[in-house]
Structure 1
Amino acid sequence: MYKHFLFLTLFLTIPLFGVVQIAPNEVGLRPGIAGQFSASNNTQRGNTDKDEFDLSASVSYDNNRSYVTWLDLSYAYGQVAGTKNENKAYAHYRFLHTLRRPEWNWEVFAQNEGDDFRSIQRRLLGGGGLRWRFYEAGTFGRIYIGLGAYYEHLSYTTQSDPVERNTRVNSYLSYTKKFGTDARLSLGIYYQPKTDDWNDYYFNQAASLSVSVYRELFVKIELTHAHDSRPGIGVNKTDFQQITSIGWKFGAKPDR
């Protein structure tokens, strides 16, 4: 049990790092210690002077009986002709524990992120909720529904935006399907309104396809669409991103 406290300590001492793990985790899926590292890079010289890179890592511990805990990390940076156009980081820690039946789980989580180009200096949150795996079939995959709440502290890089302290509903629907032994498709939809003002909400959609290419080496394609109904002053409400990365896995392989 001490291992999930170790992951929480790492989260608190490494600010502004992380990645969203789109594929839902589950107790018994990858017993023991497991994880992955991935990176993408785009460098252009000549008529275009451009540098972009994304780094991500994930590590988990599954006791194969009652709980699984994990930490996701990532960092993205970009510049064009020496001018920075991307600088963001994200960290997410989660602890998932079974209830009386294996398809029901309770979960707690904490998150820390920053994004210069969304004027977010720091966004800290913590919360919890319930998750239900309401459908599973070998030919179709698994579907999950989650419902809970979290407290959010949001500070901006600009003086014109006030510090926000919000309580939000956390609701999501996720799907994952393994194709043979080499590929996995995962989808997720998140809706997170403020409890006292449902016109202020986050709505995020994400999809990923991971394909093994040689032993533990894999290629992943990720698509994300994020909408903030009330962002900081001068910030666009909607962001879209596509990342193709190469990575390496370690630990037990998921069997479904």
Structure 2
Amino acid sequence: MKYALIWPAIGLLSLASLPAQAIINIEEMRMDETKPGWASSSTLTFSGKRGNIREDKLALNGGVQWNRDDLQVRNLLLFTLNRSSAEGTTFSRDSFVHVRHTRQLDETIAWELFAQHQDEPLNDDYRRQLAGTNARFRVDQRFIHGYFGAGVMYEERRVVPGANVEVSREDWRFNFYLNSRYQLSDNAELAASFYVQPKASDVSDIRSIVNVGITSRVTRLFSLTLDMSYSNESEPLFGQSHDEWTYSMGVNLRF
């Protein structure tokens, strides 16, 4: 088993804002696909304060992966659990689970099956679950160095904004994404990704997200990260905005 104390900052950003961003950038959360056998990654964070107010925050993020000896079959599990409380009362709680089966067809093409569940019961009882399949293509061209995906998924979402009121939506959606990395220097890397998910029965109903992140390695152990995302949804659920900006800056520690 391999353990990492801190997950990559881009993955942490995606998991930290599950309900606000319906699209989760799984491509940035994948584990090492080049080594056979089992691997795992986990981060447990606890913080709090005592004084005028008593506050506690707990976050658990992680993943488990199994690669067959020939690397042609891979199984991946990703999960997160966040909980925040003040004066003994929990005011925020969310969870996320994603499972994915990948079968490599040749050097550049893979076929995948996946399922996902998200919920935040204290935020209008928000829930989202989906299942789908996609083809994943490795691309190494002049301006693109990464992966392109195309597939379809069935999605269920629900929110309860008030007493005896429930807003739900069930859709078949196409799923397209492009994820690419660029080496800016010996110690700096740029990662850019784009997801778009049009509704199968009405392609004008589109959900999309653009993400750009820069990692600059200061030493062998430390690196600085900057990440920005913009998401848009033409038909959001009740009480949600059409678009959203998120950003994150931090220090990444690996050993």
Answer yes or no: same fold by TM over 0.5: yes
The equivalent position to 2:130 in structure 1, one of 120, 125, 128, is 125
Q: Distance in 2 between matches of 1:69 and 1:141?
A: 26
Residue 109 (1) aligns with residue 114 (2): yes
**CA displacement 1:211-243 (0-9 Å, x = unmatched):** 69888x999776554433333322334442537
Question: Is it true that 1:146 corresponds to 2:149 in the alignment?
Answer: yes
Question: Partners of 2:94 and 2:251 in 1: how far apart?
Answer: 17
Q: Which of residues 171, 191, 206 is equivalent to 2:176?
A: 171
Closer/same/farther in 2, CA of residues 37 and 165 from structure 1, 3 Å limit: same
Give 1:176 shift: 3.7
Residue 192 of structure 1 and its aligned partner are, at CA, apart by 1.1
Alignment of 1:7-26 (within 5 A): 21-23=26-28, 25=30
Is there any run of 5+ residues in structure 1 with no aligned partner, and where? 1-15, 250-256
TM-fit CA distance, 1:184: 6.8
Quick one: which amino acid aligns to residue 153 of structure 1? E
Q: CA deviation at 1:171?
A: 0.7
SS state of the match for residue 76, structure 2? Answer: strand
> Aligned residue pairs: how many?
228
Contact 2:226 2:250 in 1 (8 A): yes
Q: Residues of 2 paired with 1:187 and 1:40: CA distance?
A: 27
- Residues 27 and 114 (structure 1), Cα distance of their counterparts in 2 relative to 1, 3 Å cut: same
Residues 130-149 of structure 1, C-alpha deviations (whole Å, 9 max, x = no match): 11112169xx9832111111
Whether contact under 8 Å (2:226, 2:247) holds in the other structure is no
**CA 1:117–1:197 in structure 2 vs 1: closer, same or farther (change >3 Å)?**
farther
Alpha-carbon distance in structure 2 between the residues aligned to 1:96 and 1:52: 34
Residue deviations 1:184-208, cap 9 Å, x none? 7644321112112234332223456
Asked whether the equivalents of residues 38 and 245 of structure 1 are also in contact (C-alpha less than 8 Å), the reply is no
Residue of 64, 72, 90 corresponding to 1:66 = 72
Match of 1:202 in 2: 207
Structure 1 position 245, deviation (Å): 7.8
| C-alpha RMSD over aligned residues | 3.9
Question: How far is the alpha carbon of 1:27 from its aligned partner?
Answer: 8.5
Distance 1:184 1:40 in 2: 26
- Of residues 126-135 and 182-191 in structure 1, the stretch that sits farther from structure 2 once superposed is 182-191
Gaps of 5+ in 2: 1-17, 19-23
Percent identical pairs in the alignment equals: 21
Q: Secondary structure at the match of 2:165?
A: coil
* 2:76 paired with 1:76: no
Normalised by the size of structure 1, how large is the TM-score? 0.68
Q: Is the 8 A contact 2:195 2:210 kept in 1?
A: yes
Q: Tell me what 1:7 maps to.
A: none
